[in-house]
Amino acid sequence: MLAVLSPGQGSQKPGFLTPWLDLPGAEARLRWWSALAGIDLARLGTEGDADEIRDTARTQPLLVAAALLAAEQLPMYDVTVTAGHSVGELAAAALAGVLTPETAVTLAGVRGREMAAACALEPTGMSAVMGGDRNEVLAAVESHELHLANSNGAGQLVIAGSMDRLAKFAANPPAGTKVIALKVAGAFHTPYMAPAEQALAAMAAGITPTDPSRILLSNADGAAVNHGREMLQRLVRQVTAPVRWDQCIRGLVDLGVTAVIELPPAGTLSGLIKRELKGTGSVPEIVTLNTPDDLAAARDLIARHGAPSEHEPAMQFRVVVAGTAGTFAPVEGLVEGAAIESGQVVGHVSTRQGDVEVTAHGGGVLTEWLAHHDDPVAPGQPLARIGGQLS
């Protein structure tokens, strides 16, 4: 099973888009997306210096556009899982079919501008905290009235808040930790971004999302999201909520992902995965896609680890996944070959808190059970495959 990952802010490098503009149609594509984002993406990705492309209002649409531009060169129909880090979730949602590329770029432009405006309201920042005991670090964060912004795995947390409180935290850090001030404009993924969340919610209210056509993991908790409307709501809430990339990594492992392609500018997420899973025997084969020269390796990886093309072009297969851990039970009497309606309950997962219904997010035919009665399941684990005609 193969996953395609979209990186977030901080992964950008000056000139990283330059080699991609040599591909047929790439420059025209960027001109169209630039009109939607309200900035010159081609110029920023080729000529913008480090300070210019660090500007939140510019960085966010630039990263989403770069990921989507590269993904257009891949056989995405054989990709099973998508996920993105922070603003990278917009690109991942587009790759999963929840948003159109145009909608993703437009939302990234709004998100970037509004988060930059929120950063200007008062001096805030972020710091990376490496090592130490997680519970002790979180207790210290709370005692300093700071916020957890990212839990990235591999012993890396990112905290955020007012500059003076961050300075006091760094002056007396928890035992065994190293604190590094980050060069960012403000306290992303915290309540300081509430005005940006409100603005993004107003824009999202006019969008009609589509249910994902492949497994899409959420930054909120690493769970697979079945419904487009829910994913859109999560994308909005994530502006003020911490990014749980550690749980996304766990989701990849639980799904049995054996290979990963990180879209440009690649390297950050791959590094986190390698460090988090080192010594576990679960490290996937990874391709970091940074230039068109890497496309051959990425396509080869998809050919070896991607889902087989087992359907006609006119058919679409949706995977129903577990939203939580527990024990699965299909609806009694529901057999392969049965007609399924959108929203129909196909089973439930028994947890300590009670039963959680599993519903189909698209109509079609139940082509295959992937889990059976009393099977233990993990969040995001595929349970059934439903086939239907493309609309």
**Catalytic choice (6, 11, 86, 213):** 86
Q: Is 312 exposed, middle or buried (0-12, 13-18, 19+ CB in 10 A)?
A: exposed
Q: Long-range contacts for 292-297 (Cβ within 8 Å, ≥24 apart)?
A: 292/19, 292/20, 292/22, 292/23, 292/73, 293/19, 295/73, 295/74
Structure tokens, 327: 């024990």
How far is 91 from 70, CA to CA, in rounded Å?
11
CB atoms near residue 120 (< 10 Å): 10
| Residue 133 identity (one-letter amino acid) | D
CB 284 within 8 Å of CB 301: no
CB 328 within 8 Å of CB 372: yes
CA distance readout (Å), 30 to 18, 166, 192, 234: 12, 38, 32, 27
* SS3 assignment, position 147: strand
Residues in the chain: 391
In the residue annotation, 86 being an active-site residue is answered as yes
How far is 101 from 144, CA to CA, in rounded Å?
40
Q: What secondary structure does DSSP assign to 259-292, as a single string? A: EEEEPSS-SHHHHHHHHHHTTTT-PPEEEE--SG
**Catalytic choice (85, 189, 305, 361):** 189
Q: Starting from the edge strand earliest in sequence, which strands make up the sheet with 177-181, in order?
A: 147-153, 156-162, 124-131, 177-181
Tracing tokens 């009109």 back to the chain, one arrives at: 35
Phi, psi angle pair for 319, to nearest 5°: -105, 125
CB 142 within 8 Å of CB 169: no
* SS3 assignment, position 103: helix
In the residue annotation, 189 being an active-site residue is answered as yes
Strand 339-340 relative to strand 382-389: parallel, antiparallel, unpaired?
unpaired
Q: Which positions are annotated as active-site residues?
A: 86, 189
